[in-house]
Structures are given as C-alpha cells and as structure tokens.
Chains A and B, each alone.
Chain A
Amino acid sequence: MSHATIKEKAPAGAAGQRLTVRYFAWVREKVGRAEEAVEVPASIATVGDLVDWLAARGPEYQAAFARPGVVRAALDQVHVKPGASLAGAREIAFFPPVTGG
C-alpha cells in the first residue's frame, strides 16, 4: 500500500522505471552477478541516486559501491557522471575505471 501511495504522488509515467543493470570487472564480482532487471522507484532521478539505492539493497552491493566516486557508469552505452538523469534510459552499466589499451 505504501507502493500505491508513491505511485499516486509520482508524476505520470515516472513510476516504476524498468532498467537493465549490468556490472563489469570487480564490480560484477562483488555484486555477484553480471546483469539484472530492476524496477526503480520514481524518487530515483539520477545515476547517483541509483547508486545509493542499490548500495542499500544488501552487503554485496554495499561492498561494490563502498569506495565513493570510484565506480563509473554508462547509460545506454555512453559514459555519464553521477548527476546524469535516468529519464528515458533502458540500460545502465557500472564498472571500475577502464584499463584497456
């Protein structure tokens, strides 16, 4: 019922955004999975909000996001900063700083 209340308060279309979340390298190892589908509450507006929300889901997420500012993100395959809006996004990826080349 609290869920219903949140939905009523949220702007139309913003409630329950469905996102595919992908994890790479040691972020994947700490979270313990490579990919999952999550229903993001309407109150989560930015990448940074999502990080805080995910980190509160359990000790494995907390461990993955423990070092502030270290984990990077890409929204729909484009690098983004923590302030980026999640609006309209379908996929978000979290990973350590890249080490290719």
Chain B
Amino acid sequence: MSVRVQREAFDTAAEVEALVAGRVDVGGVVTFTGLVRGEAGGRALSSLTLEHYPEMTEAELNRIEAEAQDRFGLAGSLVIHRYGELRPGDPIVLVVTLSPHRQAAFAAAEFLMDYLKSRAPFWKKESFADGTEAWVDARETDGAALARWGAPATQK
C-alpha cells in the first residue's frame, strides 16, 4: 500500500513491475490511468493546472487506500496523483490494485477512483486555447458514484 503526490510523470510499467517483483500471491493486477483531455465542453484546452492541499492530500489518500484494503482484502495497491500544470494527453492519476483474484482488483480500482474524485483535496483549473480560464465544477455524478459504495457522499 502506498500513496505518492508528485509533479513528475509516472511510469506505469515500472510501477507495476516493482509491485509484483518476487511475489507469487498476486493473481491479478488492475491499473487505471487518468489522462488530460484536449477539450472541455467543446472548447480546446491548452493546459490543466491542479492545485492541492499538501498537508491533507497524502493523509486523505492514505485513508481512502486503507478503506479499499479493508473492503477488498487487496494484496497491494498504489495511488499516484500529480499536481501542477499539465498538458492534454499527460497522465494525471495512476491507481494500481493487486489481488489474488481479478474481481477484487477491478472493484477496488473503481472504488479508489470514485473515492479520490470525491474526497482527495485537488482542484482543477482549465486554461483554454482562447486564453480564458475556469475552475472545473464538481460533477453531481461523482457524488452518485460514491453513494453506490454505501458511503455517505461528501457534505452537501
């Protein structure tokens, strides 16, 4: 189990290799990588800037990861979330889940993404090709995604 918050890009293949090296109890590995889309609301995006709350981010991601461990009995997991200025096509977030059987790894990866979208203290600001900027609004669907895990959604 580990969590990293960093400016730098990550190497998914190298991360997975390090997680499974020397292990024979892992039957399945699921990875999810989130990327910056080149458009938002039909407008061309030039960059995306992620602000975060450094003292809280790792603590919150660790709480989310611990919850996933409890629920799905994972053999291991990794969450990497980037901050700073990113370009279209850049990776933002990596979630890796390891489990003896695939179902738990798939479910836990989805659970981790739903949770971190609703709980991890990151905020995205979009800079458009036309020079304007806008903070991304939280999506109602993110709260709904969280609710299906039987969790109280973040406060209204």
Where the two chains meet, the residues of A that have a C-beta atom closer than 8 Å to any C-beta of B are 22, 24-26, 69, 72, 74, 77-82, 91, 93, 95-101
Contact = CB atoms under 8 A, between A and B. Distances in A.
B117 A25 contact: no
A91 B59 CA distance: 15
B135 A77 contact: no
Contacts of B67: none
Given A25-B51, A25-B123, A100-B123, A69 B156 contact: yes
Contacts of A93: 53, 56, 121
Given A25-B123, A79-B119, A99 B53 contact: no
A25 B113 contact: no
B81 A100 contact: yes
A38 B92 CA distance: 35
A98 B123 contact: yes
Contacts of A95: 53, 121, 123
Interface residues of B, number: 30
A99 B135 CA distance: 9
Contact of B122 (A26, A77, A81, A99): A99
Interface centre among A69, A82, A93, A100 (most CB of B within 10 A): A100
A101 B154 contact: no
Nearest to A77: B56
Nearest to B54: A77
A25 B134 CA distance: 10
B59 A98 contact: no
22 contacts: A22-B53, A24-B53, A74-B121, A78-B56, A79-B60, A80-B155, A81-B155, A82-B155, A93-B56, A93-B121, A95-B53, A95-B121, A97-B137, A98-B122, A98-B123, A99-B137, A100-B116, A100-B117, A100-B120, A100-B121, A101-B93, A101-B117
A91 to B, nearest CB: 8
Contact of B55 (A69, A72, A77, A100): A77
Contact of A101 (B51, B55, B113): B113
B135 A96 contact: yes
Interface string B47-74: 0001111011001100000000000000
